[in-house]
A and B are shown apart, each in its own frame.
Chain A
C-alpha cells in the first residue's frame, strides 16, 4: 500500500510504529549491504563498524546500518528517526533523503510516531492505524491530523496564540517564528 502512495510524492511520511528487522546477532559485514564501504560512508559511519555485532551498536549506528542495507532499493522504507537519532543526526538524514530522492530518483517512505521528523522533508503525511490509512494531508497545520497524532509543540503554540485572531504566521521553523513574534510585539 505504501509503495503506491509514495509514487506521486517522492517522499512521504507515515505516522505509525516502525519495527526494524535488522539481525541483532549478525556482524555488520555479514549484512546484505551492497558496496558496503561506500554505503557506510554515505550514512556517515566509519568502515571499522563492519567488524561489530549489530546489538553492540548504539541506536544511532543501528539506524544508519539499516539504512545502508536499503540504499540500493528503488523505494527506501525506514523509520524510528525520533527514537534512535539525536537532533543533529536527524537533520543530516533528512538532507540525505532529499538528495537520494532528487539526485538518485529514490522514493522514500519515512515511518515515525513523531511528525516533527517530517518537517522540511515529506510532501504528504499518512496516518495508519491497524493497517488502514485513517487520514492523509499535506498540511502540518491541519487540525484534523491532530485527532490522530501528537501535535508538535511549535504548531500547538502558534495555534494557541492564533485562537481568537491570526497573530502569527504558520511555520515549522522556530527562527521564522521568533522573527514573526518580534515583528508582532514591537
Chain B
C-alpha cells in the first residue's frame, strides 16, 4: 500500500482506532479548506466526506493528486470506492482484502458475506454478467445503455 497515492478504506465496523494504523497520515477535520491540505504530504479523511456530492469529492481528490498529496479516504459509502485506484477492505480490525479497486470489488460473495454492498454500477454489471448480458464491468451509464439497447 505504501506506493499507492489514492486509497479508499472501507470497514465492516468503523472505529477511530483504524487511524493508528496510518500514523504518517494527517487526519483532516470536518471543516477543512483546500489550501490547508497543501501543508501535508499525506492526509486521511475519516468518514467526513460522505455528505458531500460525488462531484465535490472528485474535485477534492483531483486537487490532492495534482498537488502530489497522498491520501486515504475512510468511508462507509461504497460508491466513493470508485473514486480511488486502490481499495482496502477491513473486517473489524483486520485487512480482509486489498488491491486495485475493481479487482477487489469483483469478490462479490466475500464482500456481501461480511455485510457490505457494492457500488451500484459494479453490482449491476456483475449481475448482468451472470445473465450473460455483459462481458465486463461498466461504470458509465451511457456506455451501459448503449451496450444493452444499441
- Interface of A toward B, CB cutoff 8 Å: 17, 57-61, 82-89, 113-114, 150, 152-154, 156-157, 160-161, 167, 174-175, 177-178, 181-182, 184-185
Contacts and interface: CB of A to CB of B under 8 A. Distances in A.
Contacts, number: 83
Contacts of B11: 86
Contacts of B133: 181-182, 185
Given A88-B116, A153-B121, A160-B145, A178 B15 contact: no
Interface stretch (B31-39, B96-104, B122-130): B122-130
B5 interface: no
Interface of B: 11-15, 47, 50-51, 53-54, 76-79, 114-117, 119-121, 123-124, 127-128, 131, 133, 141-142, 144-145, 148-149
A84 B117 CA distance: 14
Given A57-B15, A89-B115, A157 B141 contact: yes
A150 B15 contact: no
Contacts of A59: 13-15, 47, 76
Contacts of B114: 88
B50 A82 contact: yes
